[in-house]
Amino acid sequence: MVQAAPSDQITSDQATASAQISETLGRQRAYFNAGHTQPIEFRLAQLKALKQAILDYQPEILAALKADLNKPELEAYLTEIGVTKEINYAIKHLPTWARPKSVSLPLEQLPAKGRIYAEPLGVVLIIGPWNYPFQLMISPLIGAIAAGNCALLKPSELAPQTSRVIAKLIQATFDPAYITVAEGGLEVSQALLAERFDHIFFTGGTQIGRAVMAAAAQHLTPVTLELGGKSPCIVDSDIQLEYTARRIVWGKFLNAGQTCIAPDYLLVDRRIKPKLLAAMQQAIREFYGDDPAQSPDYARIVNDRHFGRLSQLLPASSAEGEIVAGGSTNAAQRYIAPTILDQVTPEAAVMQEEIFGPILPMLEYDNISEAIALIKARPKPLALYLFTRDAQLQALVLAQTSSGGVCMNDTIMQIAASSLPFGGVGESGMGSYHGKASFDTFSHYKSVLVKNFWFDLKWRYAPYAGKLELFKKIIR
Would you list the DSSP string of 286-336? HHH-S-GGG-TT----SSHHHHHHHHTTS-SSGGG-EEEE---EEGGGTEE
* pLDDT tens column, 132-176: 999 999 999 999 999 999 999 999 999 999 999 999 999 999 999
d(CA 251, CA 259): 9
- pLDDT for position 369: 97
- pLDDT for position 3: 36
- pLDDT for position 19: 87
- Give me the catalytic one of 260, 364, 407, 427: 260
- Give me the catalytic one of 226, 320, 354, 364: 226
At residue 91, what are phi and psi to the nearest 5 degrees? -60, -40
d(CA 80, CA 162): 11
DSSP-based three-state secondary structure for 364? strand
At residue 232, what are phi and psi to the nearest 5 degrees? -80, 155
DSSP state of 384: E
CA 12, 18, 24: angle at the middle one, nearest 5?
A: 115
CATH 3.40.309.10 location in the chain: 232-423
Which residues fall within 8 angstroms of residue 333, CB to CB, at 6 or more apart? 293, 300
Whether the predicted pLDDT of 5 surpasses 70: no
Whether the predicted pLDDT of 412 surpasses 80: yes
Contact 354, 427 (CB under 8 A): no
For the four alpha carbons of 262, 264, 270 and 273, in that order, the dihedral sign comes to positive
**211 vs 472, which has greater pLDDT?**
211
- pLDDT for position 471: 80
Per the CATH hierarchy, to which homologous superfamily does domain 14-227+429-447 belong? Aldehyde Dehydrogenase; Chain A, domain 1 (3.40.605.10)
The amino acid occupying position 118 is: A
CATH 3.40.605.10 location in the chain: 14-227+429-447
- 260 annotated active-site: yes
- 427 annotated active-site: no
Mean pLDDT of the region 408-414: 97
d(CA 161, CA 156): 10
- Other C-beta atoms closer than 10 Å to the C-beta of 462 total 7
Q: Which of 272, 476, 297, 227 is nearest to 362 (CA)?
A: 272
d(CA 257, CA 114): 49
d(CA 30, CA 7): 20
- Other C-beta atoms closer than 10 Å to the C-beta of 311 total 14
- pLDDT for position 109: 87
The amino acid occupying position 46 is: Q
| pTM (2 d.p.) | 0.93
The amino acid occupying position 422 is: F
pLDDT-derived band at 1, boundaries 50, 70, 90 = very low
**What does the mean pLDDT of the chain come to?**
94
- pLDDT for position 10: 44
Whether the predicted pLDDT of 7 surpasses 60: no
Contact 304, 331 (CB under 8 A): yes
pLDDT-derived band at 14, boundaries 50, 70, 90 = low
Q: Which residues pair with 383 in a beta bridge?
A: 405
Which residues fall within 8 angstroms of residue 68, CB to CB, at 6 or more apart? 130, 133, 158, 159, 160, 161, 162, 302
Whether the predicted pLDDT of 316 surpasses 90: no
**106 vs 234, which has greater pLDDT?**
234
Mean pLDDT of the region 396-411: 98
Gyration radius of the chain's alpha carbons: 26
Whether the predicted pLDDT of 65 surpasses 90: yes
3-state helix, strand, coil in the chain (%, to 5): 45, 20, 35
d(CA 29, CA 178): 9
Strand locations in 366-473 (E): 383-387, 405-408, 422-423, 429-430, 432-433, 443-451
d(CA 330, CA 314): 13
Whether the predicted pLDDT of 12 surpasses 50: no
d(CA 379, CA 264): 13
Per the CATH hierarchy, to which homologous superfamily does domain 232-423 belong? Aldehyde Dehydrogenase; Chain A, domain 2 (3.40.309.10)
Q: Which of 364, 411, 27 is nearest to 245 (CA)?
A: 411
DSSP state of 177: T
The proportion of the chain whose per-residue pLDDT surpasses 70, expressed as a percent, equals 97
Contact 268, 276 (CB under 8 A): yes
Among the residue ranges 154-163, 300-309, 463-472, the one predicted with the least confidence is: 463-472
